[in-house]
Amino acid sequence: MKITILNGDMDDGEGEFTVYIEKLSENLRQQHAVTVFALNKMNLHYCTGCWSCWWKTPGKCAINDDAGEILRSVVDSDFLIFASPLMVGFTSSALKKITDRFVALLHPYIKMKEGECHHLTRYEKYPDFGLVLKKEKDTDDEDIAIVNDIYERLSINFHGAKKFIKFIDNTKMEEIVYETNHI
Protein backbone atom coordinates (compact mmCIF):
# COMPACT_ATOMS: atom_id res chain seq x y z
CA MET A 1 0.00 0.00 0.00
CA LYS A 2 1.21 3.53 -0.80
CA ILE A 3 0.86 5.93 2.12
CA THR A 4 1.37 9.69 2.08
CA ILE A 5 1.83 11.54 5.36
CA LEU A 6 1.30 15.29 5.43
CA ASN A 7 3.21 16.51 8.49
CA GLY A 8 1.82 19.89 9.50
CA ASP A 9 4.14 20.38 12.48
CA MET A 10 5.26 24.01 12.53
CA ASP A 11 8.26 23.22 14.75
CA ASP A 12 11.81 23.24 13.39
CA GLY A 13 11.76 19.49 12.84
CA GLU A 14 13.30 18.55 16.16
CA GLY A 15 10.11 18.65 18.21
CA GLU A 16 8.20 15.82 19.83
CA PHE A 17 5.52 15.67 17.15
CA THR A 18 7.85 15.39 14.16
CA VAL A 19 9.96 12.79 15.97
CA TYR A 20 6.75 10.81 16.56
CA ILE A 21 5.76 11.07 12.87
CA GLU A 22 9.25 9.96 11.80
CA LYS A 23 8.99 6.88 14.05
CA LEU A 24 5.47 6.19 12.79
CA SER A 25 6.64 6.36 9.18
CA GLU A 26 9.55 3.99 9.96
CA ASN A 27 7.09 1.49 11.46
CA LEU A 28 4.73 1.78 8.50
CA ARG A 29 7.63 1.33 6.04
CA GLN A 30 8.01 -2.24 7.29
CA GLN A 31 4.93 -3.12 5.20
CA HIS A 32 4.21 -0.10 2.98
CA ALA A 33 5.74 2.50 0.69
CA VAL A 34 5.58 5.71 2.72
CA THR A 35 6.18 9.29 1.61
CA VAL A 36 6.34 12.03 4.25
CA PHE A 37 6.05 15.72 3.45
CA ALA A 38 7.31 18.16 6.11
CA LEU A 39 4.99 20.97 5.04
CA ASN A 40 6.67 23.76 7.03
CA LYS A 41 9.92 23.15 5.11
CA MET A 42 8.28 23.33 1.68
CA ASN A 43 7.49 26.20 -0.66
CA LEU A 44 3.69 26.25 -0.33
CA HIS A 45 1.31 29.12 -0.99
CA TYR A 46 -2.33 29.62 -0.10
CA CYS A 47 -5.04 28.91 -2.65
CA THR A 48 -6.06 32.21 -4.23
CA GLY A 49 -9.44 30.97 -5.48
CA CYS A 50 -8.57 31.78 -9.09
CA TRP A 51 -10.09 28.47 -10.31
CA SER A 52 -7.37 28.06 -12.96
CA CYS A 53 -7.04 24.45 -11.79
CA TRP A 54 -10.60 23.94 -13.00
CA TRP A 55 -10.84 26.04 -16.14
CA LYS A 56 -7.45 27.07 -17.58
CA THR A 57 -5.17 24.15 -16.62
CA PRO A 58 -7.50 21.36 -15.44
CA GLY A 59 -6.02 19.52 -12.46
CA LYS A 60 -2.94 21.74 -12.27
CA CYS A 61 -2.70 24.73 -9.98
CA ALA A 62 -1.50 28.03 -11.49
CA ILE A 63 0.74 28.64 -8.47
CA ASN A 64 4.30 27.46 -9.08
CA ASP A 65 5.28 25.88 -5.76
CA ASP A 66 5.72 22.43 -4.19
CA ALA A 67 1.99 21.65 -4.00
CA GLY A 68 2.04 19.79 -7.35
CA GLU A 69 4.40 17.15 -5.93
CA ILE A 70 2.20 16.72 -2.87
CA LEU A 71 -1.05 16.53 -4.85
CA ARG A 72 0.41 13.87 -7.18
CA SER A 73 1.50 11.82 -4.18
CA VAL A 74 -1.93 12.19 -2.54
CA VAL A 75 -3.88 11.04 -5.59
CA ASP A 76 -1.43 8.16 -6.19
CA SER A 77 -1.74 6.98 -2.57
CA ASP A 78 -3.92 4.26 -1.17
CA PHE A 79 -4.01 5.95 2.24
CA LEU A 80 -3.32 9.48 3.44
CA ILE A 81 -2.42 10.61 6.95
CA PHE A 82 -3.07 14.19 7.99
CA ALA A 83 -0.67 14.85 10.88
CA SER A 84 -0.58 17.97 13.00
CA PRO A 85 -0.37 19.28 16.52
CA LEU A 86 -3.53 21.20 17.33
CA MET A 87 -2.92 24.93 17.40
CA VAL A 88 -5.58 27.27 18.72
CA GLY A 89 -8.04 24.39 18.55
CA PHE A 90 -7.38 23.29 14.96
CA THR A 91 -4.74 21.73 12.72
CA SER A 92 -1.78 23.89 11.72
CA SER A 93 -1.92 26.54 9.02
CA ALA A 94 0.53 24.49 6.93
CA LEU A 95 -1.83 21.50 6.89
CA LYS A 96 -4.86 23.70 6.19
CA LYS A 97 -2.96 25.45 3.38
CA ILE A 98 -2.30 22.22 1.44
CA THR A 99 -5.73 20.78 2.20
CA ASP A 100 -7.32 23.84 0.57
CA ARG A 101 -5.24 23.15 -2.53
CA PHE A 102 -6.97 19.73 -2.90
CA VAL A 103 -9.59 21.62 -4.94
CA ALA A 104 -7.38 20.98 -7.99
CA LEU A 105 -8.00 17.25 -7.55
CA LEU A 106 -11.72 17.63 -8.22
CA HIS A 107 -13.87 18.73 -11.14
CA PRO A 108 -15.79 21.99 -10.95
CA TYR A 109 -18.93 20.10 -11.92
CA ILE A 110 -21.40 19.12 -9.23
CA LYS A 111 -23.49 16.05 -8.42
CA MET A 112 -25.80 15.15 -5.59
CA LYS A 113 -24.16 13.00 -2.92
CA GLU A 114 -25.80 12.16 0.37
CA GLY A 115 -28.46 14.79 -0.37
CA GLU A 116 -25.86 17.53 -0.91
CA CYS A 117 -24.04 19.12 -3.83
CA HIS A 118 -20.45 17.89 -4.19
CA HIS A 119 -17.76 18.03 -6.86
CA LEU A 120 -17.28 15.24 -9.38
CA THR A 121 -14.09 13.25 -9.20
CA ARG A 122 -11.24 14.09 -11.55
CA TYR A 123 -9.39 10.81 -10.93
CA GLU A 124 -10.43 7.17 -10.80
CA LYS A 125 -9.70 6.76 -7.09
CA TYR A 126 -8.99 8.84 -4.04
CA PRO A 127 -7.31 7.68 -0.85
CA ASP A 128 -9.06 7.07 2.42
CA PHE A 129 -7.38 8.89 5.28
CA GLY A 130 -6.69 9.13 8.98
CA LEU A 131 -5.71 11.91 11.31
CA VAL A 132 -2.81 11.80 13.76
CA LEU A 133 -2.97 14.79 16.06
CA LYS A 134 -1.41 16.15 19.24
CA LYS A 135 -3.62 17.95 21.73
CA GLU A 136 -2.81 21.32 23.21
CA LYS A 137 -2.88 21.74 26.97
CA ASP A 138 -6.33 23.32 26.76
CA THR A 139 -7.83 21.10 24.02
CA ASP A 140 -11.41 20.28 24.93
CA ASP A 141 -14.19 18.11 23.52
CA GLU A 142 -15.51 21.00 21.42
CA ASP A 143 -12.12 21.44 19.70
CA ILE A 144 -12.00 17.73 18.90
CA ALA A 145 -15.58 17.77 17.60
CA ILE A 146 -14.81 20.70 15.28
CA VAL A 147 -11.70 19.03 13.83
CA ASN A 148 -13.56 15.74 13.44
CA ASP A 149 -16.53 17.45 11.73
CA ILE A 150 -14.32 19.36 9.28
CA TYR A 151 -12.48 16.20 8.24
CA GLU A 152 -15.75 14.23 8.00
CA ARG A 153 -16.96 16.91 5.58
CA LEU A 154 -13.67 16.68 3.69
CA SER A 155 -14.14 12.92 3.33
CA ILE A 156 -17.48 13.44 1.58
CA ASN A 157 -16.22 16.09 -0.83
CA PHE A 158 -12.89 14.33 -1.38
CA HIS A 159 -14.56 10.98 -2.14
CA GLY A 160 -12.60 9.10 0.52
CA ALA A 161 -13.39 7.83 3.99
CA LYS A 162 -12.00 9.12 7.27
CA LYS A 163 -10.87 5.89 8.93
CA PHE A 164 -9.58 7.19 12.25
CA ILE A 165 -8.64 10.16 14.36
CA LYS A 166 -5.86 9.42 16.86
CA PHE A 167 -4.09 11.61 19.39
CA ILE A 168 -0.44 10.86 20.15
CA ASP A 169 -1.11 11.96 23.72
CA ASN A 170 -3.20 8.87 24.51
CA THR A 171 -2.75 6.38 21.66
CA LYS A 172 0.08 3.91 21.36
CA MET A 173 1.89 4.08 18.04
CA GLU A 174 1.32 0.34 17.58
CA GLU A 175 -2.44 0.99 17.51
CA ILE A 176 -2.08 3.50 14.66
CA VAL A 177 0.20 1.12 12.75
CA TYR A 178 -2.23 -1.78 13.32
CA GLU A 179 -5.26 0.20 12.14
CA THR A 180 -3.39 1.48 9.10
CA ASN A 181 -2.18 -2.02 8.23
CA HIS A 182 -5.75 -3.32 8.33
CA ILE A 183 -7.42 -0.77 6.09
pLDDT in tens, 88-126: 999 999 999 999 999 999 999 999 988 999 999 999 999
Question: What is d(CA 122, CA 105) in angstroms, rounded to the nearest whole number?
Answer: 6
Provide the strand spans (E) within the chain: 2-7, 33-38, 79-85, 106-113, 116-121, 128-134, 162-167
pLDDT of residue 148: 97
Angle between helices 173-181 and 16-28 (to 10 degrees): 40
Q: Between β-strands 106-113 and 116-121, what pairing exists: parallel, antiparallel or unpaired?
A: antiparallel
pLDDT of residue 13: 67
183 residues of the chain, pLDDT tens digit each: 999 999 999 987 678 999 999 999 999 999 999 999 999 999 999 999 999 999 999 999 999 999 999 999 999 999 999 999 999 999 999 999 999 999 999 999 999 988 999 999 999 999 999 999 999 999 999 999 999 999 999 999 999 999 999 999 888 999 999 999 999
pLDDT of residue 163: 97
pLDDT of residue 108: 94
Q: 66: part of which helix (H) or strand (E)?
A: none
- How many domains does one find in the chain? 1
pLDDT of residue 34: 98
Range of the domain at 128: 2-181
Question: What is d(CA 176, CA 174) in angstroms, rounded to the nearest whole number?
Answer: 5
Three-class SS state of 53 = helix
Q: What is the CATH number of the domain that holds 70?
A: 3.40.50.360
Question: What is d(CA 97, CA 94) in angstroms, rounded to the nearest whole number?
Answer: 5
